[in-house]
Structure 1
Amino acid sequence: MNISLLVGCLMMVTIGFAQNNTSALSQSGNDNNSTVTQKGDLNTSDVMQTGDDNLATVSQKKTENDAVTSQVGDDNTSDVMQKGTLNMSTVDQAGDDLSADVDQDGRENISTVTQTGDFAEATVYQDGKFNEATVTQDGDALTSLGKNTADVMQEGNRNLAVVDQDGRFIDADVDQVGNRNTATVSQDGEFITSESLQEGNRNTATVTQDGTVLSSEIDQLGNRNDATVTQTNFDASSTIYQDGDRNSATVAQNSGAVSLFDDGLNSEIDQIGDRNTAVVTQSYVSQGALYEVDIDSDIDQEGDRNSATVSQTGSAELDGYLVPFFGFGPYGEATLESDIEQTGDLNEAVVNQVGDEIESDVIQLGDENLATVDQVGVELNSFVLQSGNGNESATSQSGASHGSGVVQWGDGNSSDVAQMGVGQISGVAQVGSMNTSTVSQDGEANLSGVLQWGDSNMSAVSQTGTGSMSGVAQFGEGNMSTVTQGGDGGHLSGVLQWGDNNMSTVSQSGMSQTSTVSQIGNGNMGAVTQGN
């Protein structure tokens, strides 16, 4: 036998053995096109197309990759590229104008794309080992210009991404760079969008959105961060950004019945540091309200182990009738707003608001500060500024048209403000350390002002009735002041303490009482009691 012929035969046998690939193709319909390219060993491809003008492309390199493509309908496109070992791809499309693009590079990655309906598009890119991506889209977009789209990109090892979408202009974009990250996106209908970016290891992002407009964006940079967003109906927007390790952010937003031109519910959380926690719960009941349904929460935490909790509930229940540009009809209110800013470590802020036209601002600069705000009613406003360490502020307001401002500058100061009724105004300023202030007002249009400058001063103000006014100013250390005014109103009290360890007590009851106390020096004591 010719030596060259023998060598050629042996080479052909060797190549055939090395490239022991399997490809199966089944097509039914008109103008379908399928291209399968296999280079390597033990790769498997199975393509089934039913309908017209479908296009399937499979490219496999290296070893033991598996691709299954099924397309039923017209004008569908599938492109699968596998470069690596033991990767698995499944594309199942039923409908018209569907598109799937899968690119796997690495080892033992799994991609599953299932699309039904019309005008949907899915893209999956995996580079690494043991990554898994599942994309399910079920529903119709309006036109080819408004496709349902889902994009998943995974770089690293053992990342998991699950995207489940229904219909209309829905869009999801999930990027994972690192190891063992998990992203789950579940979306229902209309205009919804979601973007998730995770860079690091063992981060978890979970997004659940129900219907109408709705948008969510989650960015996590670091390790073991957790972000959860749940949004139910109408306009709702949530942005979460976490930079550090073991941070946790949870947002739950829900609106009630049908609302026109709804632009309500919005939450933005920004955490930089480690082990910070933020929880936002927002809801409102809307009954056909036009305009002015706006609930907002903004949380910013910088440092470690800070905690912020916001709960807001509003209602838009036909409060008025004049509607701009639409003549007469229901005009709803709500407009709740909460803003928390924390810089330092181990700070805690808790805000609870129920009603309409309510606003709260909390700023904490330092360590181990505590601020609580509880507001229930209409047209309530609270401001808290804490600069220093170990300060505590508690504000509680119920009724209508109250305003409270608390400024603490120093360490270990304590302020407690409680206002009920209508039109109460309170201002507390503490500059120094270990000062204590208590303000309680009930009735109508009472006014209280407290200034403490120094250390270990104590002030207590209690007013009931209508139109009472109290002013307390303490300069020094260890001063004590107590003001109690009751009755039908018209009370006026002024207390000035300048020095150390002064004590003043004012008690007024009845109508049109007036008291002025001025103490300058040390160790003075004064008591004023007035009755009917």
Structure 2
Amino acid sequence: MKKIIFSVVALAFASVTIAQSPATNDTGAREAVQVAQIPGSAMGANTGESIQNGADNAVQVRQAGTSQSTLTNQNGTANLARVMQTGNVNGNQALSGQLNFAEVGQTGFNNQSTIFQEGDYNNAMISQNNDNDTAANRAMIMQGTANQAEMNAATIDQDGEDNSAYTLQTWDNSDASTVQSGSGNTSEIDQNAGPEDSQGQFAVVTQIGVDNESRVDQDNADGSDARNVAYTAQTGNNNSAEQIQSANGSTGNIAVVAQGTGSQLFQVPASEQVWFNTLAFDPSVTGGGNNIGDSDNGVAFQQQNGDGNQGFIGQYSSTADSNNGAQLQDGNNNAAYLSQNAFGSSNGSGNVGRQEQVGDGNATGVLQTGNDHLALQVQTGNDNSNISTQRGMSNNLNIFQEGDGSYGQTIQHGEFNVALLTQRDGQSYTIRQNEGVFTPGAGGNQADILQEGPMGTGTQTGFIQVTPQGVTAPHSVSSFSLAPIN
């Protein structure tokens, strides 16, 4: 297990080569800086610095052409910073917006910062740090807003409460990283690659604290050679995460949400082979040992449209739970995995998991530890599989496999569990309910299985009630009030 996980915190803070090289690294974050020049100057021209102390300051930097660079540094409260770097992409670095570096550092609260960059190989970083209990800082980075833009990198790092971060990257092969420590923070990353043969994007979001929200949206033009990758890690309670990926006709999407781990995420080759075929079908759902931080009342939603999709949601807790996770995949060669409380307390309860796959070569997963969980798995079309397990008591499971391969398997454990399985076409099944027993009383389980050919019309109704609540996450970041400075 530990061989297939990596540290997103390390990834988010790792030092990547700064200065002259293009920002092409899959987000190792920190970058920007550069500046220098003055003695004798000329050569590549543009650079900068800025630095303001106190409150209610404003700075605006506008740079066009050649090898631009900006660094501003504001200490205090209610400061405003805006950086704009422009230039056409024409292959001539001396006349274009290429290899630009922009960095804004703000200390205090109620600060706002925006960076706009056009062109290729640009790098932007905003750092807003606050030692007090309140922050309310806002940061926005937009790259490729007017001209095509490729291989750009954007990083936002915020400490404190009620911060907002927004990153927009257009065209292709861009990297974005957002790190937020504190509570009540909001992050949104929008990456839109196209038209041409886009390489896709890479996004990492790390949020440490409670009541945080994150949204990543990655979109590629049909037929582009895309690889979208999105990782979100959240430590704390009442956090929400949403990831949307669209890359029809491309090489595929990878999306991971981990809530309650903060520093561990799967790299997800084929959803880690549907998590090693659900730990070789149960033994017995590794409970307890690897939880880092907690996630109660978390919400995670992932939607993937396109080919070769892989998804993973992990929601881990050592106490109460009530997490809600959903994954929707529409495309070919799908795999998915939803793990709730697998590394947390075996007494966790009230999680809701929903997975739906439409398309070829499906797999799924699930795996919930504790009591009173709900799980719904739907597979429509071709080479289906499944695998479940729940573990505890009073858990409910619905599995619907409509068309082609089928298989099944479950295991529930404990008492008063309910399983419903519908298979049309290839079929097979397994369902064992009381496997490891877990007294007292161990009984009262129910199973309802329907197997038919592809044209079957049988229905299953009755005892099972699985209605996972809708999963929502932020779709926008608070508006900015930074006006142009005359």
TM > 0.5: no
Q: Name the structure where strand makes up a greater proportion of residues.
A: 1
Please, what TM-score do these two structures have when normalized by structure 2?
Answer: 0.40
Q: Scaled by the length of structure 1, what TM-score is found?
A: 0.38
Q: Which has the larger radius of gyration?
A: 1
Point out which structure has higher relative CO (alpha carbons under 8 A, 6+ apart): 2
